[in-house]
Amino acid sequence: MCSNRILLKIAAFAVVVWLGVNVQAAGVPVGSSSLFDTLDYSDTFTIDVPDRPGTHYYNPYFAPDHYYEVETAYNGLSPSDREWGQHQHWTFVHSGAAVGLDPDYPGDTGNAGAATGFLQGWEDVSFPYGARDDFIVQFDAIPAIGRIDIVSLSAPHQHASLVPPIDYDGLTVFIRPTGGGGAAGEITLYNAGIGGIDTGLTSGIPAGNTQWHNFAVRFDTPNRNVSVWVDEVLRGTVNLDDPVLFGTFFAGITMPNVAVGAGGFNIDETIANPNWIDNFQVGAPLIPGAAVPEPAVPALLLGAILTFGLFRRRTANG
């Protein structure tokens, strides 16, 4: 009996350790994601090619600009009317031309594709979407700047917060490293009209980490569910109408799909330190209507230990 109790304690400890494990730096190249059934749009931000010539590019104006058109569309969709904006806040660079304030650009670790180009800028950048109402937004970014934004907007080229034009109907997921955000939490749902609220989920990214990581959010509008992945590890799923987590906080939020995008803010979320973003992908989730499952490691581990314990008990009893 005593040995069985010890086995149960070991199993419980193993489950806790598995759930709390930090994620590993890992960029996800376009087309290599395990989360999608179908892609709608993607962008590797590759530069120094015919469509995006030169080793860096920046346009500080609001006028339409072919350079900022989304790189690739799928399934008969067209990228020609899908332009990243507000592009006056974003520069196309490669790792040799990237700059930063605090921290400086830390390098390509975790994302070999950064050598051919990525976005460098601040606040949020988005493009018109509207392809479906249950979709995943996924991209690579460096979290050391404080927070990563994954945005679903009611109008293209809006911002989730602070900088006009502000989208008061959109929904944004803020993801921060361990301990980031203080009372705001590591993973926050935010709307500019009502503010943000902590989901209770954790990112698994160590504080001060300066490597490329992958971030993904599923906006399941029909079921009003939001699922979050870091380095393709599911951090959890929350429902906007959960009475315990949110009460009626998000009652008036519709989870729009008119535009999607990415962004973030610097370490203290008050000055325009650059963000670095790459390998943007958006499309249909692998399993419609349900969160993409993670391997049930804790359950399998617990089951194996319990089975072993019962086997030992029966063996001991003859």
Can you tell me the distance from the alpha carbon of 309 to that of 245, in angstroms, rounded to the nearest whole number? Answer: 37
Could you say which DSSP state residue 48 is in? S
Q: What is the pLDDT of residues 232-247, one digit of tens each?
A: 999 999 999 999 999 9
Q: ∠ at Cα 93 (140, 30), nearest 5°?
A: 35
Mean pLDDT estimate for the chain: 81
Token output for 43: 């962008």
Q: What is the pTM of this model?
A: 0.83
Nearest to 44 by CA among 142, 111, 98: 111
Q: What is the pLDDT of residues 55-101, one digit of tens each?
A: 899 998 888 899 999 999 999 898 878 999 887 788 999 888 887 76
Can you tell me the distance from the alpha carbon of 162 to that of 167, in angstroms, rounded to the nearest whole number? Answer: 10
Lowest-confidence segment of 46-50, 100-104, 151-155, 250-254 by average pLDDT: 100-104
- What fold characterizes domain 25-289? Jelly Rolls (2.60.120)
**The amino acid at 261:** G
Confidence label for 188 from pLDDT (cuts 50, 70 and 90): very high
Is the CB of residue 252 less than 8 Å from the CB of residue 195? no
Is the CB of residue 155 less than 8 Å from the CB of residue 167? yes
Token output for 245: 């987590």
pLDDT at 183 over 90: no
